[in-house]
A and B are shown apart, each in its own frame.
Chain A
Amino acid sequence: MKEQEYAQRVQGLKHRLYRTARLYLAGEAAALDAVDEAVYRGFLHHRKLRRPEYFDTWLTRILINVCNDELRRRKREQAVDELPETAAQDYDALPLRDAVERLPRELRAVIVLRYFSGYTLAETAEILKIPAGTVSSRQRRALELLRLELTDEEGGT
């Protein structure tokens, strides 16, 4: 992929990247930094992307990796503030944004990609490199914890 095409594709994807990072990292500044970092890493490697049809999932996967790096860094610096999956009543008591941000990371990734960034189940599986069935089960579990009733169609289709 050439540089100009890369720039154009990022322009079309940047808001989706921001939404993903915003909820995944729980902070505007951190989300912007993560998007910048992902776009930079993508920039370094865009010439090797031979199949442009995978651009969105490719760059989003880079973003998720950047976010995970950041979460690991935070974990070293401060106590973990994710709630355990068993604390269903605690999620219920939180505003939705806070509840999403405090989901265990693997559930949060699925719910953010599916219902806030609009990726399909297959795309989400591709981004996270996990089987579609695993996406499906994590999605179901996360929606239960959030007390949120959303259909598959309300996620990316």
Chain B
Amino acid sequence: MDRKQEYDALLRELDQAPPELEYTVTRARARARRGRARRWLGIPAGTLAGAFAAFVLLVNTVPTFALACSRLPVLGDLAAAVDWSGSLSRAVEHEYVQSIGQSQTIDGLTVTVEYAIVDRRRVELFVTTQCGDEAYPYADLHASVEDKSAHTAVLTHGSYEAHGQLRQITIDFNAGRQVPEELTVGFYAQPRQSYGDDGGSALEDMTRFTFALRFDPDRIINGRTYEVGQWLELDGQRVLVDRLEVYPTHARLMLRDDPDNDLRLVALDFYLEDGDGVRYESEGGIAGYSDPDTGFAFDHRVASPWYSEGEGLTLYVTAAAWLDEDHSQVTVDLTRGAAQGLPDGAALEEVRRNGDHTELVFLCADRGMARLAQLFSWTYTDPEGGVHHSTSGGSASDDEAGITREMVYLEDYPYDTVTLTLNRTRWGALEDPIAVEIN
């Protein structure tokens, strides 16, 4: 074989890609989501689960609002940083922004809190870094609040950025807690040579910056609450729409459970629509809270209609997902590729075993519910009763077909059976959305 023939043969050989390549985007999505969730659960307080369990969704893009940045030259960079969020974009458009401009420098690394968008229940901070050493053009940054109350949570959106890029930090206040006029925020930062270079430094190994932030009380909107008090019949269960709280940065739909329900509500798909037909849908990020004792998802977040000019606001509930705790275990025979206990609409498609690494692929006809709640928890049990925690997983949705393919990865797992725990056992879109007039 001459060199040219070798070349042609090598080209053909390189066309044979491993099947795992197919899910590279799924893994990237899952990893990004995992990063956010880990930070959310790990940084605010170890006691977070003591009162509330938060659920966080991927930040979804929303149609970019057409802000003429030339009209707001100072806020142009901020407008670009929040273009994923209709709520924050509208806040910036209405110049509902506080300029902070506080900086600290430690060991050549500077952290600057540039802007804040603050209402009575949430603080959105926008922070940049700078570094004197050009070999380190990026920085890793995480935020925390001094108050380690379980009712305050912090979400760092995209911890790796280039210096000068605005990064967003959401500080969310719950259970009646309100944003104070002064707030101490800690930032853990570390210079990086390249983005994605997640060497995995522990927070305690990073440089800590502490900022005592003071907000302009005249620019902290209290929000408004619409008392609703209407019971809904959903899939044979009853849920009370208690109230809608609207703030410039987000809106909260607050629900109450009926103790007579057989199933627990774990996710709700809904949107708000104003009189001009403008819809306010989930924006991802912090999606809401569920009660850790009952698991009932009582707090659901959606884009804010604060700046709505259309009169009359209506809530449309389109789908719900439920959990029957008595049927939440699924046992998979890894050698036979068979699963017992799967709910209607879900099927085990494939078991891929490679040494001690096993990948389970499930098909789920869920019409987009995966966006609201994954089918399986990432905690699983071996036949000897040992509890394991998966460090990765993912899903890919075919929206046209209404099917989601969900992957569960079992690492270093030598057993032939595994018991998985379902997050939802029943779900579905309503034939007709339920409409509730808010005002």
Q: Hey, which bits of chain A sit against chain B, CB under 8 A?
A: 2-4, 6-7, 10-11, 14-15, 18-19, 22-23, 28, 32, 35-37, 39-45, 47-48, 62, 65-66, 69, 95-97, 100, 115-116, 146-150
Q: Does B6 contact A (CB under 8 A)?
A: yes
**B17 and A149 within 8 A (CB):** no
Given that A15-B15, A116-B14 are contacting pairs, would A39 and B7 also be in contact in the complex, using a CB cutoff of 8 Å?
no
**A40 and B28 within 8 A (CB):** yes
A148 to B10, CA, bound (A): 13
**Chain A residues touching B, majority SS:** helix
8 contacts between A and B (CB under 8 A): A18-B17, A22-B14, A43-B28, A44-B32, A47-B84, A96-B3, A97-B13, A146-B3
B contact residues around A37 at 8 Å (CB): 196
Nearest Cβ on chain B to A2's Cβ, whole angstroms? 4
The residue of chain A having its C-beta at the shortest distance from the C-beta of B11 within the complex is A116
Given that A43-B29, A97-B10 are contacting pairs, would A147 and B3 also be in contact in the complex, using a CB cutoff of 8 Å?
yes
**B60 and A40 within 8 A (CB):** no
Q: Does B176 contact A (CB under 8 A)?
A: no
B contact residues around A19 at 8 Å (CB): 14-15, 17
Given that A15-B15, A22-B14 are contacting pairs, would A39 and B24 also be in contact in the complex, using a CB cutoff of 8 Å?
yes
**B6 and A96 within 8 A (CB):** yes
B contact residues around A66 at 8 Å (CB): 196
**B61 and A2 within 8 A (CB):** yes
B contact residues around A149 at 8 Å (CB): 3-4
**B24 and A41 within 8 A (CB):** no
**B197 and A69 within 8 A (CB):** yes
**B7 and A96 within 8 A (CB):** yes
**A47 and B61 within 8 A (CB):** yes
A73 to B160, CA, bound (A): 21
Q: Does B175 contact A (CB under 8 A)?
A: no
A contact residues around B196 at 8 Å (CB): 37, 40-41, 44, 62, 66
In this complex, the interface size class of chain B, counting residues with CB under 8 Å from chain A, is 20 to 34
Q: Hey, which bits of chain B sit against chain A, CB under 8 A?
A: 3-4, 6-7, 10-11, 13-15, 17-18, 20-21, 24-25, 27-29, 31-32, 58, 60-61, 83-84, 158, 160, 165, 194-197
B contact residues around A69 at 8 Å (CB): 194, 197
Nearest Cβ on chain A to B303's Cβ, whole angstroms? 16
**B20 and A32 within 8 A (CB):** yes
A61 to B83, CA, bound (A): 26
The residue of chain A having its C-beta at the shortest distance from the C-beta of B193 within the complex is A69
Of A18, A100, A148, which contacts B4 at CB under 8 A?
A148
A126 to B243, CA, bound (A): 55
A16 to B18, CA, bound (A): 13
A153 to B160, CA, bound (A): 40
A23 to B254, CA, bound (A): 55
A62 to B29, CA, bound (A): 17
A contact residues around B84 at 8 Å (CB): 47
Q: Which of B21, B24, B27, B32 has the most CB of A within 10 A?
A: B24
**B24 and A10 within 8 A (CB):** yes
B contact residues around A10 at 8 Å (CB): 24-25
The residue of chain B having its C-beta at the shortest distance from the C-beta of A50 within the complex is B80
Q: Which of B14, B20, B60, B165 has the most CB of A within 10 A?
A: B14
The residue of chain A having its C-beta at the shortest distance from the C-beta of B31 within the complex is A40
Nearest Cβ on chain A to B78's Cβ, whole angstroms? 14
B contact residues around A150 at 8 Å (CB): 4, 7
A13 to B83, CA, bound (A): 27
**B14 and A39 within 8 A (CB):** no
The residue of chain A having its C-beta at the shortest distance from the C-beta of B26 within the complex is A7
A contact residues around B21 at 8 Å (CB): 14-15, 18, 32, 35
B contact residues around A147 at 8 Å (CB): 3
A88 to B52, CA, bound (A): 67
**A39 and B10 within 8 A (CB):** no
**B25 and A65 within 8 A (CB):** no
Of B17, B20, B28, B194, which contacts A39 at CB under 8 A?
B28
A147 to B3, CA, bound (A): 7
Nearest Cβ on chain B to A124's Cβ, whole angstroms? 17
**B25 and A11 within 8 A (CB):** yes
A117 to B27, CA, bound (A): 23
Nearest Cβ on chain A to B360's Cβ, whole angstroms? 19
Nearest Cβ on chain B to A52's Cβ, whole angstroms? 14
